[in-house]
């Protein structure tokens, strides 16, 4: 048991991510995901878009999956390590990648703005959309995987009700957008070994600030024993989907 624990934790610490790629967790963790299909809806909207913006594109993984893209598509990314990854992936597809946050968007107007797990600044989005333009966003809510915070002993970084569907809808409507779709779900996500848990805790430092395997070893060993006995450790992904448009 000790050897398995130490080996799996070491493997997780040595694992690296490029862009926003969680493929290391394949076979180690799995979830149902929300009932909607964000990618399918994005593909449905693409043919209507003459100008496309993808906000906080990460390593460009999702946007590249939608190719072919409209000419002159634009993406933003604010995390420095992701920029070269996104540019290598998206430049051959004709996408210009800007280093900027979701509060300082490139000059529009855009017919379609995609935002998958990026910063949602309602006023900035409204200002970048053309008349009749559409926003499609999937967000990670503030109740995301709080079971892990509790199990490891790290307080949740924000109010559990601070970022929910209702909060986001009010902000978008207040900025002058008409919300046409609004859905919210909590989906189970199960970790099948302690290495997967450690990888997740390291990959999302804004939710698990100050986490190190050595400082939290007693809690991690308790989780490891639970996984061995129960076959997994389950937390819940908090996701919500919004589609909105500008009148006109």
Q: What is the pLDDT along the chain (248 residues), one digit of tens a residue?
A: 456 999 999 999 998 777 777 889 999 999 989 999 999 999 999 999 999 999 999 999 999 999 999 999 999 999 898 999 999 999 999 999 999 977 889 988 999 999 999 999 999 999 999 999 999 999 999 999 999 999 999 998 778 899 999 999 999 999 999 999 999 999 999 999 999 999 999 998 889 999 999 999 999 999 999 999 999 999 999 999 999 999 86
pTM: 0.92
Q: Which of 186, 188, 143, 193 is nearest to 164 (CA)?
A: 143
- C-alpha distance from residue 189 to each of 100, 148, 156 (Å): 31, 11, 18
Domains: count for the chain: 1
CATH for 142? 3.40.50.150
Alpha carbon distance 65, 141 (integer Å): 24
Domain that holds residue 190: 2-245
**Would you say 151 and 193 are in contact if contact means Cβ atoms under 8 Å apart?**
no
């Amino acid at each position: 048991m000790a050897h398995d624990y130490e080996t799996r934790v070491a493997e997780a610490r040595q694992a690296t991510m490029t862009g926003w790629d969680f493929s290391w967790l394949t076979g180690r963790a799995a979830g149902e995901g929300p009932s909607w299909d964000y990618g399918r809806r994005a593909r449905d909207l693409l043919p209507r878009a003459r100008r496309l913006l993808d906000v906080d594109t990460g390593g460009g993984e999702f946007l590249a999956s939608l190719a072919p893209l409209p000419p002159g598509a634009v993406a933003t990314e604010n995390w420095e390590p992701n920029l070269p990854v996104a540019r290598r992936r998206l430049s051959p597809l004709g996408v210009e990648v800007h280093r900027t946050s979701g509060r300082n968007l490139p000059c529009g107007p855009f017919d379609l703005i995609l935002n998958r797990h990026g910063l949602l600044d309602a006023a900035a989005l409204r200002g970048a959309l053309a008349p009749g333009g559409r926003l499609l966003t999937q967000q990670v809510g503030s109740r995301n995987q709080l079971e892990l915070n509790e199990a490891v002993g790290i307080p949740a970084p924000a109010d559990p009700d601070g970022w929910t569907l209702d909060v986001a809808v009010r902000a978008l409507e207040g900025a002058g957008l008409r919300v046409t779709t609004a859905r919210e779900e909590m989906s189970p996500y199960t970790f099948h070994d302690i290495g997967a848990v450690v990888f997740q805790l390291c990959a999302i430092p804004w939710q698990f600030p100050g986490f190190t395997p050595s400082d939290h070893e007693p809690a991690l060993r308790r989780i490891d024993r639970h996984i061995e006995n129960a076959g997994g450790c389950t937390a819940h992904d908090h996701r919500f989907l919004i589609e909105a448009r500008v009148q006109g």
